[in-house]
Amino acid sequence: MIASDRAALRDLQYDVEQFLYREADLIDERRFDDWLKLLADDLEYWMPVRSTRALGDEGNEFAKPGESALFDDDKESMHQRVRKLHTGYSWAEDPPSRTRHVVSNVRIESMTNDLVEVRCNFMLYRSRLAADEDLWVGRREDRLRRNGESFLIARRHIYLDQVSLSSKNLSVFF
């Protein structure tokens, strides 16, 4: 790899990381309308159900597309979720959750002219009311589409490490 290619890849890595960190801040600051602007019109936002499998069958731990999913949303359904938060009738978010997203191990898997395939690990901590706490850990596989000097999230697949969730709801954004 020539030096200019390494420099371009380093710049892209930095830009992707800063985009993901900014996105996490928008969610944690409950700036959901601003966060929605980071979603592509053809968004695919999907979190499959995970099951425990025997040794050798790990490839079937996660449900396949079209099977059971905790989330299977598009941009319109994300808009609906945010609109519901603004109504005051979202019992799962009144009072609102306090969240903290930690994004790490950001890796660029592939890129074309306008798409960047990214994998990262995440931890999402939520506290609500006086004693409700949740911690979700896993990996995300994102497809980012260039949008001027920034990106739009065209696809987010979320793979939780947990099989059983003790959470009372999944009303937060990953």
In a domain, 74, yes or no: yes
Using alpha carbons, list the distances in angstroms from residue 129 to 92, 120, 144, 173. 11, 30, 34, 18
Indicate the number of domains in the chain.
1
In a domain, 9, yes or no: yes
How does pLDDT run along the chain (174 residues), one tens digit per residue? Answer: 677 788 999 999 999 999 999 999 999 999 999 999 999 999 999 999 999 999 999 999 999 999 999 999 999 999 999 999 998 888 889 899 999 999 999 999 999 989 999 999 999 999 999 999 999 999 999 999 999 999 999 999 999 999 999 999 999 999
CB 125 within 8 A of CB 100: yes
In a domain, 8, yes or no: yes
In the numeric block, the tokens 């019992």 are attached to: 91
In a domain, 103, yes or no: yes
Signed CA dihedral, 56, 59, 61, 67: sign only: negative
In a domain, 167, yes or no: no
In a domain, 169, yes or no: no
Short-list 23, 4, 29, CA closest to 96: 29
pTM over 0.95: no
CA 46 to CA 60: how far, in whole Å? 17
CA 26 to CA 39: how far, in whole Å? 13
In a domain, 51, yes or no: yes
CATH of the domain at 47: 3.10.450.50
CB 108 within 8 A of CB 116: yes
Cβ partners under 8 Å of residue 147, min gap 6: none
- Token pair recorded at residue 17: 């990381």
Q: Which domain holds residue 110?
A: 3-160
Amino acid found at 105? N
In a domain, 100, yes or no: yes
Beta strands in 74-114 (DSSP E): 98-111
Report the number of secondary-structure helices (H) and strands (E) in the chain: 3, 6
